[in-house]
Structure 1
Amino acid sequence: MNPINENTKNAQVGLVMGSSSDWPTMQFAADILDQFQIPFEAKVLSAHRMPDAMFDYAASALSRGLRAIIAGAGGAAHLPGMLAAKTIVPVYGVPVASKYMRGEDSL
């Protein structure tokens, strides 16, 4: 599956990653959502490179019908925290292994 899933109709979960290189980790979440037949949308939104788009995504999550957001990012994991700051939809952060600390800095 392509990490960019533009089929957002009836999506209940937003699967968001900071970069397409995070897809190998985030694909596990996509596979589980597929297994349970939970409609989701997958998007790349960087907290650092595209903060306005990320804020818009978070601010519109509830009105678009999202019931949860699963956000994965390496490094200091700013993406889940920034999304959570802009929405009342629950945001679940996923640590993504980084080159130096194996994702421990994301915890």
Structure 2
Amino acid sequence: MADHPLIGIVMGSKSDFDVLSPAVEILTELGIPHEARVVSAHRTPDLLYEYAEQAQARGLRVIIAGAGGAAHLPGMLAAKTLVPVLGVPVPATMLNGLDSLLSIVQMPKGVPVGTLAIGKPGAANAAIFAAEILATTDAALRERLQAWREARRDEVLAMELPVLQFREPMA
């Protein structure tokens, strides 16, 4: 595995980290080198451009970008790099992430952002999807990812519901 980050996880604010944390956890569990940092589309646009423009040269293969509200971060990253960008809408406003989802998913032709579900499930799926992208050329990662999926399956198969005692209906 690489000695540099292969996946970049960026978010518009430190307050978004809780939502993006499942991505960090899954990538760590799968042994995929990654980095996580705050890059705001609105407050640090120069940093956003620098991050996007240097992503490929730094060896990043996928960028996971979480953003709330106007959610311009994923789209602006995608506009400035050829590294695939996966957008995770963060439920940061009274619209519970719907505004972010619409902002991220409605990209113009030629500037794609792979858009995931709102919130923590989207962050988790972004990490899994990024791992699947890397696994197309990494047999060892493919094996770890397969084992990870099998472990999730086994967790579901091991689930037991409480047994309720049957009672005759009251007349």
Q: Please say whether Structure 1 and Structure 2 have the same fold, judged by a TM-score greater than 0.5.
A: yes
Using the TM superposition, give the Cα deviation of residue 35 of structure 1 relative to its aligned residue in structure 2, in angstroms. Answer: 1.0
1:103 to 87, 97, 107: 97
Counterpart Cα distance in 1 of 2:18 and 2:92 = 12
Using the TM superposition, give the Cα deviation of residue 61 of structure 1 relative to its aligned residue in structure 2, in angstroms. Answer: 0.2
Q: Report sequence identity in percent.
A: 59
Counterpart Cα distance in 1 of 2:92 and 2:59 = 32
Match of 2:83 in 1: 89
- Secondary structure in 1 aligned to 2:82? coil
Structure with the largest fraction of helix: 2
* Contact residue 7 and residue 61 of structure 2 kept, 8 A: yes
Structure with the largest fraction of strand: 1
The TM-score with structure 1 as length reference comes to 0.90
1:41 aligns with 2:45: no
Task: Map 1:16-27 onto structure 2 (within 5 A).
Answer: 16-27=10-21
Higher relative contact order (CA 8 A, sep 6+): 1
Match of 1:4 in 2: none
The residue identity in structure 1 corresponding to 2:5 is A
The farther-off stretch of 22-31 and 97-106 is 97-106
Counterpart Cα distance in 2 of 1:50 and 1:86 = 15
The TM-score with structure 2 as length reference comes to 0.57
- Secondary structure in 2 aligned to 1:101? coil
Q: Unmatched 5+ residue regions in structure 1?
A: 1-8
Counterpart Cα distance in 2 of 1:11 and 1:44 = 16
